[in-house]
Structure 1
Amino acid sequence: MGVRDIFGFGSAEPRLKGRDVAVIDVGSNSVRLVQFRVKGRVLLPVFNEKTMAGLGKGAAETGRLNPEGVEAALRTLKRFTRLLDAKGVTTRGAVATAAVRECEDGPDFVERVRQETGLVIDVLSGEEEGRYSALGVLAGVGDAWGVAGDLGGSSLELTGLDRRSTQGALTLPLGPLAVNAAGTKAEDLRDHVDSQLERASDVLKQTGETFYAVGGAWRSFANLSMSMRNYPLRLLHEYEMSLDQVRKTAQFAMSQSESSLASVPGVSSKRAATLPYAALLLERIMKAGGFKRVVFSAYGLREGVVCVSDPSLVEEGDPLISGAEIMALSASPEPGFGPALADWLEPAFTGDIPVFGEAQDKRLRAAAARLSDIGARLHPDHRGDLAFTQVLYAPIGGLSHAERAFLALTLHHRYEGKASRGEDCVSTHLLDDAQRTAALKLGLGMRFGAALSGRTGQLLSSFVLTRTEDALVITPAADASDLIVERALRRFEQFCAAMELKAAPEV
């Protein structure tokens, strides 16, 4: 894959499952620690802390690391090592990117860190940095076609993505610190950016129509877009913008003062200064690559560092299905019930008109069924609302915001039946009528399956659910007729009514 294993496991079989691992990222702007818990093919962030040290501030002019930034970074790294020691996290790795890589005193900084903290920093090449970030995107998105772009303080890394693999990678000196964006006219910045992007034309036009944006400056841009659109779901991962939305938001960002941008929720005062440049750069990338949309990824370099040591986190499984199973594992008394329910219910939806696409609908039904019992330990009077919120903001990838809303609404109906959510701006904004109806059908189907089987896969297998031209038929095994109670029959009738089919229980 053209990248090194920072944890030192080499090419052996994956060894990270069930572990807590830590990645320290020494960037041009920030120094960040993320502690991950590796469950299956899912990376769960359990601790996240950063300091805006500003190592690369002024480096474009001096060729050296910022002295104040060096001291701030050292204090932060000392704290991080103490934290990890206290937490007992021994599997840890540290990487440094453009500022340390390019400054003449970068090696001195790395050695000083080793002497004062015992931490060994791997200084990544530009290509390695790009591929790590791209692997992180794949871990969080699953199949991807397009180009991943990681905007740091000093550099921009561009890497092609084709399903589960990375393609050509390139680094450009287009970080805001490298171009001194704060003091340059927009026209001059635009010309400089365009000339640099010409070098990247082979990478930008490799494959796909989607640009996957990584990095804090572009996350601030996404937050600005959400505020402008009055977007109902404040969640950055897989937030999507069309080319036209990018242009409009970029124009607005470049017309505002720093103080005005800093007042936007999700835009810090330190990010506000570089936001206009990040907006301009994104708009020029979209044009140069002919991209139709941008998808923002909360996964990037740090997740990629872990994935190099355990390639199965990228190459195997489905981030959505795996994430749903991990959620169920900790919440459901019967985690095996969900997969059984998914298979059992599937015949009922044969012939239904797809609302996200046939394959995607089946995938969403499989995920929803795995989540069907996450309310088991929640307060019975609030299960619907709590399950809706948990699923909507779940730390899992591989689904769009509309699909998140669909799953959340499905879980609402799983616990609340036909009742609507009242003033639900998320579902209203992100789903159309057909998608909301599909969520109702699936939720009622899950509700019926749970009542029929007592939420156990073993009893569920005692019944066969089939669909005819105008009816749903439930057929019990010879010794299972007594298991059908009135409560289950009522839910079966509700499910059939939503499906606009007759109820045909063979009792």
Structure 2
Amino acid sequence: MRVAVIDLGTNTFHLLIAEPKGKDFEILYKTNVPVKLGEGRINDNLIIPVAFERGISTLKDFRKTIEEYQVDKVRATATSAVRSAENGKDFVLAAKEQANIQIEIITGDEEASSIYEGVKLSGAINDLSLIMDIGGGSVEFILCDTEKLIWKKSYNIGAARLMQQFFKSDPIADDEKHAILNHIQNQLTDLFEICEQHQPEVLIGSAGAFETFAELIIKKKHQSIDIALAKTYSFNFNEYIETTLKLINATHDERAEMPGMIPLRIDMSVIAALITNYIMGRLKINKLILSTYDLKMGVLSALL
């Protein structure tokens, strides 16, 4: 049985096609497209027309690929941008009518659960850990150990939301940084309370921006690691801090020139770095691991 998983993120649409192979599975096809569904007016809870059209066009392309691979079962999940948009249901209807793809809008809680299942599959969870997934619309936190999920929550503080609300200067100004940190501090009080009780020692970054941080370090050190093939990557804490401080203080053009940077993350990476550094500092965590397995792998494992 061949299955396809479509993850409609706020910034990126992903398509994954796989089939079972013994007790495991084989990935036959994998792609992602920077649709930027949250462009322009995510904080107004609206998918603007140009982003709407990009999204539907991408789903039509995905449908062609799904048919080429003779897929038996498709599961498409939409997260924060579609979930919060006033015209999100219109997008779901258009996807069904124009691309023959039935989209399921999942809750923040369901999103966090699937992220946990994906990360667990990567083998990254070896201690009491806090998983963090920075999306364009929301950020999910999952407290877990090797045996169970302890606590989870989704917050509407995604990189696209914060960027549109606060990030106006180049490079980012100190007052903008302070406004972002003040905002997330006010949003995350219950996260800090639960972490105070359990005191996780490891932060696991789920794909996305954390892959970009890893790529920047790998390229700088001329390492022969292919993140696209790796399940996990352990950061050297000092290298991570040095890299993210450089990102935060650089101009847009300077970030664009950094080897390993992808166009979608030139500005988003600044927000991701600010949030991650704040979390690690506040929770006194100095161990960071990347899991390249995320929500879509969690959905895939449930399907198979």
C-alpha contact (below 8 Å) 1:158/1:204 kept by paired residues: no
Instruction: Report the AA paired with residue 191 of structure 2.
Output: A
TM-score, length-scaled by structure 1: 0.54
Q: Report what 2:139 is aligned to.
A: 156
SS at match of 2:232: coil
Give 1:91-240 correspondences, 5 Å limit. 91-141=73-123, 143-145=125-127, 146-179=129-162, 180=164, 181-183=166-168, 185-205=176-196, 206=198, 208-235=200-227, 237-240=231-234
Q: Report what 1:279 is aligned to.
A: 273
SS at match of 1:201: helix
CA distance in 1, matches of 2:100, 2:224: 45
Query: Larger C-alpha radius of gyration, 1 or 2?
Result: 1
C-alpha contact (below 8 Å) 1:22/1:34 kept by paired residues: yes
CA shift, 1:283, in A, is 0.6
Instruction: Report the AA paired with residue 46 of structure 2.
Output: R
SS at match of 1:212: strand
Instruction: Report the AA paired with residue 125 of structure 1.
Output: T
Give 1:79-478 correspondences, 5 Å limit. 79-141=61-123, 143-145=125-127, 146-179=129-162, 180=164, 181-183=166-168, 185-205=176-196, 206=198, 208-235=200-227, 237-310=231-304
For structure 2, the 5+ residue unaligned runs are: none
CA RMSD, aligned part only?
2.0
Change (3 A) 1:142 1:191: closer
SS at match of 1:296: strand
The C-alpha deviation readout for 1:244-289, integer Å capped at 9, x for no partner, is 4333222111111222222223311221111111111111111233
SS at match of 2:203: strand
For structure 1, the 5+ residue unaligned runs are: 1-18, 311-507
CA distance in 2, matches of 1:134, 1:27: 17
Select between 68-77 and 222-231 the one with higher mean Cα deviation. 222-231
The C-alpha deviation readout for 1:306-352, integer Å capped at 9, x for no partner, is 22345xxxxxxxxxxxxxxxxxxxxxxxxxxxxxxxxxxxxxxxxxx
CA distance in 2, matches of 1:305, 1:259: 37
SS at match of 2:15: strand
CA distance in 2, matches of 1:207, 1:165: 16
CA distance in 1, matches of 2:226, 2:242: 20
C-alpha contact (below 8 Å) 1:169/1:203 kept by paired residues: no
CA distance in 1, matches of 2:150, 2:117: 11
CA shift, 1:229, in A, is 4.2
SS at match of 1:163: coil
CA distance in 2, matches of 1:253, 1:216: 16
The C-alpha deviation readout for 1:33-73, integer Å capped at 9, x for no partner, is 11123323434322112221111112334221122111011
Instruction: Report the AA paired with residue 219 of structure 2.
Output: S
C-alpha contact (below 8 Å) 2:232/2:290 kept by paired residues: yes
SS at match of 1:189: helix
SS at match of 1:178: helix
* More contact order relative to length (CA 8 Å, sep ≥ 6): 2
Change (3 A) 1:250 1:194: farther
CA distance in 2, matches of 1:102, 1:260: 33
Number of positions where the alignment pairs a residue of Structure 1 with one of Structure 2: 292
C-alpha contact (below 8 Å) 1:155/1:171 kept by paired residues: yes
SS at match of 2:26: strand
TM-score, length-scaled by structure 2: 0.88
Instruction: Report the AA paired with residue 182 of structure 1.
Output: F
